[in-house]
Chains A and B, each alone.
Chain A
Amino acid sequence: MTANQTPTTRVESARARVREMMAHRESGVFLALMLFFVVMYTVSPIFRRPFNLTTILRQISVTSIVAMGQTLVIVSGAFDLSQGSIAGLAAMVTAKLWKNAGLDPPIAIIGGLGVGVVCGFLNGVLAARFRLHPIVMTLATGAVFLGVNFYITRGESIIGLPDGLTWLGKGLIGPVPALIVLMFIVAFLMHILLTRTLFGLRVRMIGGNLKASQDVGMNVERIRVGIFTLSGFLSALGGIVLLGRVGNALPQIGQGLLFPVVTAAIVGGTLLTGGVGSMAGTLIGAAIMGIARNSLVVLQLNIYLQDIVQGMLVVVALLIDQFRRGELNWRIILGRDR
């Protein structure tokens, strides 16, 4: 009996070790990032140019900033699919406040951020007080925000933005692009919020075990409203940074944002079922996606492959997710689970 069990036990303990490693997903994702980076660094002379590396960071910064908000939402067990539309609306309101209302750029930016806060707050109230399902609800409010955007702009762009409005996306702090600095500041603050504050703990609690959270008597509604409001704020911030990246205020700003944002969070190890996720992971996830996109360019592969690569990365991330939660194993895949 014992002799028979020994090999099984060894396999078991090896499996346990693998599971242990998978559980520390940031380290796994970080390893993947490093590996990817080192390969590209070695293979491509264009890739390792400082300018190219800065470009990657610039390209992932807006995605990362917005993805920090999405991570918070997903960790709480919900989704915010209206982020792209909030980004667009906030960007356009900012531009219009400058152009039509004649406000100074900083004031216009504050107004744009305010729009994000209001949109996020609305999402939060609908999710928390009215108990609407966040996926469909934010899909709907996203359509509303986009509609408001096109209604007030009549679909027209605003060109010739002043430096004050484009600085966040174009400006430099010393030698470093401002938006890269901004990305790291947001990541740091959001990391502290999620891991060190009572609010962050509550977010992880309601995402991990909603019923138990209610039993404890915490104010789940207020926390949800806070989460969506923050998500709206960061979406607006991302949209305003995009003004500078694009250079002009186009009403369709932010429309391509949602998929890379969700992708960054998922690739970064945020569990779709809630409760687990980290800002560092999301940053790493965004970086992996950024390098993937960049490598298509520097290796002179077809840039149109990027959607395929991005989509496949998400599928792989989801598979790892399933393995990690024990929902999937090789027996199931091979159809031997009876």
Chain B
Amino acid sequence: MSIEHAVEMRGISKRFGTVQALNGVDLELRRGELLGLVGDNAAGKSTLMKTLYGSVIPDAGEIFVEGQKAALRNPRDAQALGLAMIYQDLAVFNNLDVAANVFTGREYTKRVLGITFLDKKRMYAESEALLSRLRINISSPKLLVERMSGGQRQMVAVARAIGFDATILIMDEPTAALGVKEANTLLDLMSELRDQGISIILITHRISDVLSIGDRVMVLKGGERQGVLDVEDSTLEDVEYLIVRGRPDGSG
């Protein structure tokens, strides 16, 4: 398998009851690129990404991560390979502060008298450093997440993923619930991450987002791949045509 690809998916199929959600889908994510994944509702975008993240097990097909065949039985397997998925309904802890969220599951601790205490000082310092490295504009790691905007919560989730040494980021409709300004800030963060060498797959309904910051865009329709376009030589109409009408020649 090609080593230039951070992710390669081959012939992924998945059926839910009578619905063929995915039918022999291929996907290549080049290292350090931002790939848009677009398509109408029920095109199979989220299902495809869930198979990559190990939360849906495909009926057929193979997945390669960094050139190695991957057996993904659950999200933890995927995380161990450097994948991180950021959902729309975020897995953040609203009742905790930013630092606790960034360090979820790998907290710094120190043992005193057999009791595991949190090393809060270190977590605050390191999450502050991480936020500033990612140029995320959150004033303090002590802020409670529940008092943050949707965009800031997404950024906390991104910071957490990157803090976990994720190199491949899957973002599922991150801007859907955000205002224009916040969405743009998040898109800026994504290009920043791409420039830092992170490979990103962005599921979105906003094709213009992909065309403004993406490298390539892949179109799904009815659980099948319709084509992959280079953003440089594609227009909004080209992408929309594929989304609505599918492959021009009907073969792909």
Contacts and interface: CB of A to CB of B under 8 A. Distances in A.
Interface string A204-222: 1101110110011110000
Given A23-B147, A217-B105, A205 B116 contact: no
A211 B76 CA distance: 14
Interface residues of A, number: 19
A163 B219 CA distance: 80
Nearest to A193: B115
A218 B120 CA distance: 19
Interface string A274-286: 0110000000000
Contacts of A218: 105
B94 A198 contact: no
User: Which of the listed residues A204, A205, A211 has the most CB atoms from chain B within 10 Å of its own CB?
Assistant: A205
B117 A205 contact: no
A215 B92 contact: no
Contact of A204 (B91, B95, B116, B120): B95
Contact of A212 (B91, B115, B117, B118): B91
A215 to B, nearest CB: 6
A198 B104 contact: no
Given A196-B118, A197-B115, A198-B109, A215 B94 contact: no
A65 B105 CA distance: 31
Interface in B126-157: 144, 147
Contacts of A275: 93-95
B96 interface: yes
A212 B92 contact: yes
Given A196-B117, A199-B116, A201-B100, A209 B147 contact: no
Contacts of B94: 208-209, 275
A208 B146 CA distance: 11
B28 interface: no
A197 B95 contact: no
Nearest to B160: A216
B117 A198 contact: yes
Contact of B93 (A196, A198, A208): A208
Given A209-B91, A211-B91, A215-B75, A198 B118 contact: yes
Interface in B60-91: 75-76, 91
Given A23-B147, A204-B96, A198 B116 contact: yes
Given A201-B100, A215-B75, A216-B104, A209 B93 contact: yes
Chain B interface SS verdict (over half): mixed
B101 to A, nearest CB: 9
Given A197-B118, A216-B105, A217-B76, A208 B91 contact: no
User: Which of the listed residues B93, B104, B144 has the most CB atoms from chain A within 10 Å of its own CB?
Assistant: B93
A17 to B, nearest CB: 13
A147 to B, nearest CB: 36
User: Which of the listed residues A199, A207, A215 has the most CB atoms from chain B within 10 Å of its own CB?
Assistant: A215
Contacts of A204: 93, 95-96
Contacts of A207: 95
Nearest to A275: B95
Given A23-B147, A201-B100, A276 B95 contact: yes
A205 B75 contact: no
A215 B55 CA distance: 10
Given A23-B147, A198-B107, A218-B105, A212 B76 contact: no
A276 B95 CA distance: 7
A165 to B, nearest CB: 29
Given A198-B117, A209-B92, A217-B76, 14 more contacts: A197-B115, A197-B118, A198-B107, A198-B109, A201-B107, A205-B104, A208-B96, A209-B94, A209-B95, A212-B91, A212-B92, A212-B93, A215-B75, A275-B95
Interface of A: 23, 196-199, 201, 204-205, 207-209, 211-212, 215-218, 275-276
15 contacts: A23-B147, A196-B120, A198-B116, A198-B117, A204-B93, A205-B96, A208-B94, A209-B91, A209-B93, A209-B94, A211-B91, A212-B91, A212-B93, A216-B104, A217-B76
Interface of B: 75-76, 91-96, 100, 104-105, 107, 109, 115-118, 120, 144, 147
Query: Which are the 6 A-B pairs with shortest beta-carbon distances?
Result: A275-B95, A208-B95, A212-B91, A216-B105, A198-B116, A208-B93
